[in-house]
Structure 1
Amino acid sequence: MSGITGWVDRHRDLTRESAAVAAMTARLVRGTHGDRQWSAPHALLGHRADAPEPLGAPPAAVQEHGRTLAAITFDGVLDNATQLRSALDPPGPLITDAQLILHGYLRWGCAVAERLEGLFAFAIWDARSSELVLGRDRFGIKPLSYLPLPHGALFASEAAALGAHPLIDNELDAEGLCSLLAQVRRPGHSALRRVREVRPGHLVRLGPDGVREHRYWALEAHPHTEDLASTIATTRALLEEVIAREAAACSPAAVLLSGGLDSSTLTALVAQRAGPAPRTFTVSFGDSAATVPDRPFAQAVVDHLGCEHHEILVDPATLTHPPTLEAVLAAKDFPSPFGDKNLTPYLFYRQVAAETPVALSGEAADAVFGGLISDQERASTEHRTFPWIERARAFGLDNGIGNDLFDQDLLRGIDFTGFCAERYQEARQEVPHLPGAPADDRRAREIDYLHMTRLYEQAVNHSERLAAAAGLQVRFPFSDHRLFRYLYNVPWRMKSFDGRDKSLLRTIAADLLPASVLDRPKVPFPITYHAGYKQSLAERLREVLTDHDAPVRPLLDLPKAWQVVDDPGRLDRGGWLGRADTEMVLQLDGWLRARRIRPAL
């Protein structure tokens, strides 16, 4: 787990520009120490590491006859390092994953990406062709942004780190604001003007011929030929293989256990395949937790498997500490309406990191096993936008979650509705389908694809960024691309063969878990109901509204925002959803201030 930065310019001597990349590296929240830099006349590569990485995993270079061929800076972990090392058969030791990737690039070129297994983001400076090559894992779990320049580029794990460079103008235009409010961006684009993101499963090559994208992995639609029994057996075999591999990364194994089906099944398979029962970690708020607390279900799993269990208590009072608010906003890199759904995991991960450097998470199982599709959504022929926006509209939130306090004229002016519709159609056109597939199977496949490729920002990516900032390396076995590729082509009737969601996963877990856990309804991540937290939201909103220099103030429907201050009971509208409106305003204001971003709407 680390962060990477860099600057390349084919026409500029960067020998004396190391301070600029050092400033970018210092802005990273990923990694805690070990800032390193590799330099050449036309390339500067920066890196910040965490302790678990061998030798701090500094940028690496390969030379031949005293001439640099290429250099790399790398964030992530390879699951198939041993196989890569064997395939390369190097004359000397290749200690780090970064060195393996670089030697692989020199042998196979950009085709090296297809050989990589794991979570990764890397930047390679190819001195032979004066080309920068940026790569990202198949689901984009590791972040990587860049800014193309006339003769090169800037890049960084975090957009905030890019903002530390003097060539970045830090402007938020209408499309950027739409992407923040919708929580969906145009593929390959950032919320900041001119800043781009390496798309999941892609390489970006920036060289003398300009910017070129290469897609090295994509989901494909194939006929499913196995019967139900064989499908269950294949799914279980795939799961056991990936879980055994991931569990080997931390010894003894550690699992983030909520007591839900996904994390409980993960825990049971770790116990079965990786040796002794793993250490488990569950978040708790005491008496202010959600109405369906995780504790009894998690405890049932612990008792059943004999886990070494740790219940991590998050004091609701710490959720309002300014340093925590600032740390979480920096970790996410962009504002969101999720409030304590961001704060609580960060504080939880920070305490887990004191016990183990690596932990496994059950995130992504919903998307992989079809757990995010209701029968109504699957049968519906009326769908004009993303499923999660449609669900928000069912609660009377016409503009989606967190956007009710923004000025309606502003939203019309930036064409927020049109932006969402365009992104939705764009995403739908990507979905691989089988010719002649039934309508409900096409819809189920579409919803799975949209969640995996567009909602990850609120799930797996969300967890990875918060954990990285807290010093914890989280791995996501259900995000294995082979598992998802297989299950993507399993028909919906098999995924819900017994009339329930995630039927395949429940069947696999049937002989591993207590019945109470198998039958537990899905519940969201718990929120705090502590009165002090809601009071803090109202007070912070009042501060924004009374500060005429607050950058978010011109974007708001001020009378409606004042109603929340005058009647904090409005925060309870729709349960947690009323709170999200205020959370988004506060997050956006803090982000604009901290990053000195200028709205250019």
Structure 2
Amino acid sequence: MCGIAGWVSFDSAFDDRSADAIESMTATMSRRGPDATGTFVRENVALGHRRLAVIDPAGGRQPMVATESGHEVALVYSGEMYNYTELRAELKARGRRFETRSDTEVLLLGYLEWGESIVERLNGMFAFAIWDQRQERLFLARDRFGIKPLYVYRIPSGIVFGSEPKAILAHPLADRTVTVDGLRELFAMTGQPGWSLWRDMDQVRPGTTLTVERTGIAPYTYWSLQTRQHTDDIPTTVQRVRGLLDDIVERQLVSDVPLCVLLSGGLDSSTLTGLAAATDAAKRQALRTFSVDFEDQEKTFVPDEIRDTPDAPFVREVIELVKTNHHRVALDQSALSRPSVRRAVVGARDIPAGLGDMDNSLYLLFRAIREQSTVALSGESADEIFGGYIWFHHPGSVNADNFPWLAFRSAFTADRFALLNHDLRAKLELDDFIADQYAVSRKAVEHLPGDDDREKRMRLISHQHLTRFLPMLLDRKDRASMAVGLEVRVPYCDHRLVDYVYNTPWSFKTFDGREKSLLREACGALVPQAVRDRVKSPYPTSQDPRYAASLAGQLSEILAHPDHPVFAIVDRQWAQAATEIPPDKMPGDVRAGLDRILDVYHWLDMYSPDLLV
């Protein structure tokens, strides 16, 4: 894993102050890499690295430098390469000599051998930067789905980059300005590609590289979702899905440090658990699994529009069948609502995301896991690939001229903008922004000749989820996990699996009349019947009214200061009215609004942004 940072400036000669700056930038990500730190400073470039040691702890230190034709080539890298052993063997056959067992050295020597095309050979999650003194060139790359983050900020005659905005904001040339343009996506949640909250800062898009030279900055897309005719029948497709998953999980279990699986009791995570437990590596000892739960949630659970059942009974069935070494992390509302936890989450994400106890509980879960494991496997992207979300099957959401996750009516997607300051809301023009982004997303999709309207609609929805919704979830997972030094791997994001299943007809994905038909048929024998039959249930949220009461109490303290900058974003009257609603009667959208306001309050306090709104 790790965190990377750096910059190149072709009209500056770096000095001691440059060394101090790169150390400050790198230090902001100490939690991403608690095991080691290092910097590389030359005349026009500075690179920094924080390391979380997973593969070859003794040999994978960074920045890693090689000398080629008398010139230095330096690498800083975050992520994991799951096919590094094959690439290592190929490089050895081509005459390359290795000094370590690390995938870092495979990446560096692979670049020396194949140049920038190395990215097309990689299977994994990664963000890296290579300074090539031979051409005076900085090469930046990000994995196909944006599993690992990478941000850039343009400066005169160069660029500043980092795994997280906080690293860039520590650079003396970066300012902390936030404009209306940044705030639009924060509240709209369209998954705008390349978005950053901060002015003049962007994300390197998934599947993209940037080459930075004196002559300018050149982006290149080396991978994107491609539409192809699917020629396999259903039995062959099921067999192919199972074969890919067997190979993917086997690869992603490789680790020199303790590893576990996140288990929610749903089909996705239960399947990963069953696949992992069946490997030779796991058979030698009981597979470690973790789940999150809330105190008394099972006893007091009330079904809602997106959750029919609590997770705990299904988790128990999986661990009974698979015989895992299971750990239940039970959280109470006092921990979930604690301001120090919220500040840790806001600091991890660099934005006031407003997901409340869903973010806070994820952070606390990962913190508990990190006490026993350094690597975890998670089920992200199965719903996007196989069509699992409820709105994939809800006619009103499917047929709306809007992103399905926004069109679906739930407690979270009711009037999410009601809490905004009226003047700001008018400036944001959020409905127009969402409509524009939706139009852009439609143009990005290629259809096959002969596709009927239904197939075209479902391909569009699948594409939107894989290119817009999924990156938001992956960013959330990366930030929460790396904030405690935990590496989370996402097997379902293997590009081979995504490429294959994306192009299967929608009728295949629902051939048994239900969601995720292909995954259920391919791996259903690995899980209990109850899990196989379970309806999709999203990440859990607390139903304890004391959580809402705590939020209201904290907001009341803020309301006592009417001149606070938070009210440049938040409508004070809405906030006041929200605090007066009895906690056990508080609607879900209002509780979500309280969470968002508290996030904004702490974000303003921690980051002191210059708001140009």
Change (3 A) 1:525 1:382: closer
| One-letter amino acid of the structure 2 residue matched with residue 154 of structure 1 | V
Q: Is the 8 A contact 1:24 1:161 kept in 2?
A: yes
Shift of 1:4: 0.6
Shift of 1:243: 1.1
Q: Is the 8 A contact 1:185 1:191 kept in 2?
A: no
- Asked if residue 76 in structure 1 is aligned to residue 76 in structure 2, the reply is no
Counterparts in 2 of 1:227-242, with a 5 A limit? 227-242=233-248
Aligned length: 595
Structure 2 counterpart of 1:287? 296
Shift of 1:250: 6.6
Counterparts in 2 of 1:342-421, with a 5 A limit? 342-372=359-389, 374=391, 377=394, 382-392=399-409, 397=413, 402-421=416-435
Structure 2 counterpart of 1:30? 32
Q: Is the 8 A contact 2:455 2:506 kept in 1?
A: yes
Change (3 A) 1:260 1:250: farther
Q: Is the 8 A contact 2:384 2:470 kept in 1?
A: no
Between 155-164 and 544-553, report the one with greater CA deviation: 544-553
Shift of 1:51: 3.9
Shift of 1:162: 0.9
- List runs of 5+ in structure 1 lacking aligned partners: none
CA distance in 1, matches of 2:237, 2:49: 43
Q: Is the 8 A contact 1:61 1:68 kept in 2?
A: no
Shift of 1:546: 2.6
**For 1:491-516, what per-residue CA distance to the aligned partner results, in whole angstroms no more than 9, with x for missing partners?**
00010001100011111233222211
Structure 1 counterpart of 2:306? none
Question: Normalization by structure 2: what TM-score?
Answer: 0.92
Counterparts in 2 of 1:14-93, with a 5 A limit? 14-16=14-16, 17-28=18-29, 29-53=31-55, 54-55=57-58, 57-64=61-68, 67-89=70-92, 90-93=96-99
CA distance in 1, matches of 2:585, 2:97: 64
CA distance in 2, matches of 1:436, 1:101: 42
Structure 1 counterpart of 2:145? 139
Shift of 1:180: 0.7
CA distance in 2, matches of 1:257, 1:167: 44
Percent identity between the aligned chains? Answer: 37
Structure 2 counterpart of 1:588? 600
CA distance in 1, matches of 2:103, 2:561: 49
Between 180-189 and 201-210, report the one with greater CA deviation: 180-189
**For 1:88-125, what per-residue CA distance to the aligned partner results, in whole angstroms no more than 9, with x for missing partners?**
22134244333222222222221011011111100111
Between 549-558 and 68-77, report the one with greater CA deviation: 549-558
CA distance in 2, matches of 1:600, 1:124: 35
Change (3 A) 1:71 1:250: closer
| One-letter amino acid of the structure 1 residue matched with residue 126 of structure 2 | F
- Asked if residue 192 in structure 1 is aligned to residue 198 in structure 2, the reply is yes
Q: Is the 8 A contact 2:258 2:375 kept in 1?
A: no
- List runs of 5+ in structure 2 lacking aligned partners: 303-308
CA distance in 2, matches of 1:158, 1:571: 39
- Asked if residue 471 in structure 1 is aligned to residue 518 in structure 2, the reply is no
CA distance in 2, matches of 1:313, 1:48: 31
Counterparts in 2 of 1:99-178, with a 5 A limit? 99-178=105-184
Change (3 A) 1:428 1:209: same
**For 1:35-59, what per-residue CA distance to the aligned partner results, in whole angstroms no more than 9, with x for missing partners?**
2111111111001112435246310
Change (3 A) 1:549 1:62: farther
Change (3 A) 1:503 1:539: same
Between 236-245 and 535-544, report the one with greater CA deviation: 535-544
| One-letter amino acid of the structure 2 residue matched with residue 369 of structure 1 | F
CA distance in 2, matches of 1:598, 1:280: 44
SS of 2:22's equivalent?
helix
| One-letter amino acid of the structure 1 residue matched with residue 22 of structure 2 | V
Structure 1 counterpart of 2:548? 534
Shift of 1:253: 5.2
Shift of 1:464: 2.1
| One-letter amino acid of the structure 1 residue matched with residue 597 of structure 2 | V
Q: Is the 8 A contact 1:31 1:469 kept in 2?
A: no
Q: Is the 8 A contact 2:362 2:480 kept in 1?
A: yes
Structure 2 counterpart of 1:183? 189
Shift of 1:396: 9.5
SS of 1:455's equivalent?
helix
* Counterpart selection for 1:296 from 300, 304, 313: 313
CA distance in 1, matches of 2:196, 2:586: 32
Structure 1 counterpart of 2:2? 2
Structure 2 counterpart of 1:564? 578
SS of 1:154's equivalent?
strand
Shift of 1:520: 1.4
Q: Is the 8 A contact 2:412 2:592 kept in 1?
A: no
Structure 2 counterpart of 1:578? 590
Counterparts in 2 of 1:401-480, with a 5 A limit? 402-480=416-494
Structure 1 counterpart of 2:509? 495
Question: Normalization by structure 1: what TM-score?
Answer: 0.94
Q: Is the 8 A contact 2:210 2:219 kept in 1?
A: yes
CA distance in 1, matches of 2:470, 2:199: 22
| One-letter amino acid of the structure 1 residue matched with residue 187 of structure 2 | L
Shift of 1:19: 0.9
Q: Is the 8 A contact 1:282 1:311 kept in 2?
A: yes
Shift of 1:426: 1.3
CA distance in 1, matches of 2:399, 2:265: 35
| One-letter amino acid of the structure 1 residue matched with residue 289 of structure 2 | T
SS of 1:470's equivalent?
coil
| One-letter amino acid of the structure 2 residue matched with residue 278 of structure 1 | L
* Counterpart selection for 1:247 from 248, 253, 258: 253
Change (3 A) 1:179 1:309: same
| One-letter amino acid of the structure 2 residue matched with residue 316 of structure 1 | Q
Shift of 1:191: 1.4
CA distance in 2, matches of 1:499, 1:3: 44
SS of 1:505's equivalent?
helix
Q: Is the 8 A contact 1:252 1:278 kept in 2?
A: no
- Asked if residue 547 in structure 1 is aligned to residue 570 in structure 2, the reply is no
Shift of 1:568: 4.3
CA distance in 2, matches of 1:396, 1:305: 35
Structure 2 counterpart of 1:201? 207
CA distance in 2, matches of 1:76, 1:375: 31
Between 495-504 and 510-519, report the one with greater CA deviation: 510-519
Shift of 1:410: 2.1
Q: Is the 8 A contact 1:179 1:185 kept in 2?
A: yes
| One-letter amino acid of the structure 2 residue matched with residue 42 of structure 1 | N
CA distance in 2, matches of 1:523, 1:562: 33
Change (3 A) 1:330 1:567: same
| One-letter amino acid of the structure 2 residue matched with residue 309 of structure 1 | H
